[in-house]
């Protein structure tokens, strides 16, 4: 019997395992050590985010997607809804004051990168899980450090990974052209990079952002890049 979504299931398992190890280690870290580790994680996230942002092909498109996506996310109350959901989960499983921060930071870190989209599509259409296996290892290691400082909210992000990547895998065929289009992938990755950088600034204690409100920007960046390319092809094809 073939196991459905093997890459996503492995990724979820490594997030759980890494988080449990991190929670165990976190018990032996005093407040000063946790603060220092959290600042280090923040700086790493900022670096990763900037690296992803530098892949952008159309900076104006990325800027517009972030601005409009943020406005749309705020109007929809995404951050508020996320916080309500996180509070409900925390009431069920317990957790400290950083539960929501850990859940949001880990969920976005594990779900917005290009490895997530491309890996899920390859897993569904080609039966290849190599990319998600590599991602699983990276996420598992990241969970150790994040859970040690942010607590059980990081463990709860395993549920987000399971649902989000499961849905991506389920609807992989319609999304396959996105993974094969380098410009769409680059601009979407750039938006995800800015969100990671925002998380990093928050973790480092520099500035707090309602990062979840910018999630619509990922869709807008992909759709906008596709429309721009389509318009450019029409202009090239039209006589005169």
pLDDT tens digits for range 132-151: 898 998 889 889 988 988 88
> How far apart (Å, rounded) are the C-alpha atoms in residues 51 and 113?
11
pLDDT: which is higher, 230 or 97: 230
Yes or no: say if 33 and 145 are a contact pair by the CB < 8 Å rule.
no
Cα separation of 9 and 2, whole Å?
Answer: 13
For residues 167 and 163, what is the distance between their CA atoms, to the nearest angstrom? 6
Q: Label residue 238 by pLDDT band (50, 70, 90).
A: low
CA distances from 48 to 78, 113, 193 (A): 24, 10, 7
Of the pLDDT bands very low, low, confident and very high (cuts 50, 70, 90), residue 24 is very high
pLDDT tens digits, residue range 193-228? 898 899 889 888 888 888 889 989 988 998 898 888
What is the pLDDT of the chain when averaged over all its residues?
85
Query: Do 15 and 158 form a contact (C-beta atoms < 8 A)?
Result: yes
């Amino acid at each position: 019997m073939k196991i459905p979504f093997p890459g996503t299931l492995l990724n979820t398992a490594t997030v759980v395992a890494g988080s449990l190890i991190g929670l165990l280690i976190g018990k032996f870290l005093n407040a000063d050590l946790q603060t220092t580790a959290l600042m280090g994680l923040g700086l790493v996230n900022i670096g990763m985010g900037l690296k992803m942002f530098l892949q952008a092909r159309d900076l104006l498109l990325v800027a517009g997607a972030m601005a409009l996506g943020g406005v749309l996310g705020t109007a929809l109350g995404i951050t508020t809804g996320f916080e309500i959901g996180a509070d409900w989960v925390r009431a069920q499983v317990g957790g400290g004051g950083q539960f929501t921060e850990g859940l949001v930071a880990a969920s976005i870190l594990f779900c917005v990168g290009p490895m997530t989209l491309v890996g899920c599509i390859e897993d569904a259409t080609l039966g290849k899980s190599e990319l998600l296996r590599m991602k699983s290892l990276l996420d598992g290691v990241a969970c150790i450090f994040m859970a040690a400082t942010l607590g059980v909210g990081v463990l709860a992000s395993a549920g987000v990974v399971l649902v989000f990547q499961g849905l991506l895998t389920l609807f992989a065929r319609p999304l396959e052209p996105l993974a094969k289009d380098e410009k769409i992938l680059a601009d979407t990755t750039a938006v995800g990079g800015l969100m990671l950088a925002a998380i990093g600034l928050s973790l480092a204690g520099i500035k707090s952002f309602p990062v979840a409100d910018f999630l619509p920007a990922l869709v807008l960046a992909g759709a906008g890049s596709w429309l721009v390319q389509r318009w450019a092809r029409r202009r090239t094809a039209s006589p005169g």
